[in-house]
Chains A and B, each alone.
Chain A
Amino acid sequence: MILEVKNLCKSIDNKKILDNVTINIPEGKIVGLLGKNGAGKSTLIKLINDLLTVDSGEILFKGKSIGVYSKSHISYLPERTYLDRGMKIKDVFKYFEDFYQDFNLEKANKLLKDLDLDKDMIIKNMSKGMREKLQLVLVMSRDADLYILDEPLGGVDPATRDYILDTILSNFKEGASILISTHLISDIERILDEVVFIDKGKIILESNADSLREKEKCSIDDVFRRLFKC
Chain B
Amino acid sequence: MEFKFDNEKPIFIQVKEKLRLYILSGYLKVGEKLPSVRELALISKVNPNTIQKALGELELEKLIYTERTNGKFVTTNKILIENIRQEFVKNIVDNYFNSMKEIGIDKKSSIKYLQERSNKNDIRS
Contacts and interface: CB of A to CB of B under 8 A. Distances in A.
A192 interface: yes
Interface stretch (B37-45, B59-67, B84-92): B37-45
A210 B11 contact: yes
Given A169-B47, A210-B50, 7 more contacts: A30-B49, A174-B38, A190-B7, A209-B11, A210-B53, A217-B8, A222-B8
A220 B53 CA distance: 19
B7 A189 contact: yes
A193 interface: yes
Interface residues of B, number: 18
3 A-B pairs closest in CB distance: A219-B7, A210-B10, A191-B47
A169 B41 contact: yes
Nearest to A209: B11
Interface in B1-40: 5, 7-13, 38
B30 to A, nearest CB: 30
Interface residues of A, number: 26
B45 A190 contact: yes
Given A165-B45, A191-B46, A193-B47, A186 B7 contact: yes
Contacts of B49: 28-30, 193
A213 B45 contact: no
Contacts of B9: 213
A213 B8 contact: yes
B10 A213 contact: yes
Nearest to A175: B48
A214 B45 contact: no
17 contacts: A30-B47, A30-B49, A162-B45, A169-B41, A169-B48, A189-B7, A190-B5, A190-B46, A190-B47, A193-B47, A209-B11, A210-B11, A210-B53, A213-B11, A214-B10, A217-B8, A218-B8
A166 B44 CA distance: 10
Interface SS of chain A: helix, strand, loop or mixed? Answer: helix
Interface of B: 5, 7-13, 38, 41-42, 45-50, 53
A221 interface: yes
A127 interface: no
A30 B45 CA distance: 13
Interface in A132-189: 162, 165-166, 169-170, 174, 186, 189
A190 B42 contact: no
B7 A213 contact: yes
Interface string A188-230: 0111110000000000000001110110011111100000000
Contacts of B45: 162, 165-166, 169, 190-191
Nearest to B52: A28
A190 B14 CA distance: 11
Nearest to A186: B7
A191 B51 CA distance: 10
Given A165-B45, A166-B42, A169-B42, A193 B10 contact: no
A99 B77 CA distance: 54
Contacts of A186: 7
Best-surrounded residue of B7, B9, B12, B48 (most CB of chain A within 10 A): B7
